[in-house]
Amino acid sequence: MKSLQQDPFVLEDIFKGEKLYSLALSIFLLSGAYILEHLANLYELEYSLRPTSNHVGDIVLDNLPVVDLNLIVIQGALFAIVFGVLFVIFLRPRYILFTLKAIALFIAIRAFFISLTHVGIYPGHVYPGPGVFSAIYTYLNFQTGFFFSGHTGMPFLMALIFWREFRVRTAFLTMSFVFAVGVLFAHSHYSIDVFAAPFMAYGIFEIARYLFPRDYTLLSQAEKGA
């Protein structure tokens, strides 16, 4: 069996034939998903300012001290995004098409969920501080969209995509766990947001496999050197 280091599929291959059309569709879906997320965040932000938007009790947060873990929640998350993008593009190009579509699905479904139920921010949570990284994070996430946790769910989704590779899978699962701990101690997510995220990610992964079978089949072909 050939290793992925000997994978004959290279980055240029996604710009050829049907894969180019699939790439265009992936970018279109991802762009649409980000627009939906932004609109959902704006709606959630507006709703959170209403007097009727109150926080709810949480048995986990009620018993956890508030710890400033913005280094993990903000800088760590942005680093993970950059790392993931560079890793897939330059080291696992055959994963680009399915990964883009799965992430687009993740973002769109999360946007739908955060626009449904509106609760206030848990009191005492750690706000993003000043600086460029915090500004980028705030733009991407107004901290008003809770269910479900993107910090926890996104790396878990990546772990599912790369499940065949033990080291990569372990790295993404570790990220998911570290971010879960970070957002809980920072009180920037309710516990249900965090504990439900892996289940949501798994469901999204299975939907992506069903909707985009050709792109997923391309992943399994890595083991055959196709």
Which pLDDT does position 1 carry in this prediction?
39
d(CA 120, CA 194): 16
d(CA 38, CA 163): 30
pTM for this model (two decimals): 0.91
Which pLDDT does position 127 carry in this prediction?
76
Q: Taking 80 as the threshold, does the pLDDT of residue 141 lie above it?
A: no
Tokens found for residue 171 = 């790295």
Residues 6+ apart with CB under 8 A from 167: none
Which pLDDT does position 2 carry in this prediction?
43
State the average pLDDT for the chain. 88
d(CA 11, CA 9): 7
Which pLDDT does position 34 carry in this prediction?
92
Which pLDDT does position 226 carry in this prediction?
55
pLDDT class of 134 with cuts at 50, 70, 90: confident
117 in Cβ contact with 44 (< 8 Å):
no
Q: In this structure, which amino acid lies at residue 189? A: H
Average pLDDT rounded to a whole number, residues 103-132: 85
Average pLDDT rounded to a whole number, residues 5-30: 92
174 in Cβ contact with 143 (< 8 Å):
no
Domain ranges of the chain: 15-224
Q: Taking 60 as the threshold, does the pLDDT of residue 24 lie above it?
A: yes
Note the pLDDT tens digit of each residue in 66-87. 999 988 998 899 999 999 999 9
Higher pLDDT, 2 or 92: 92
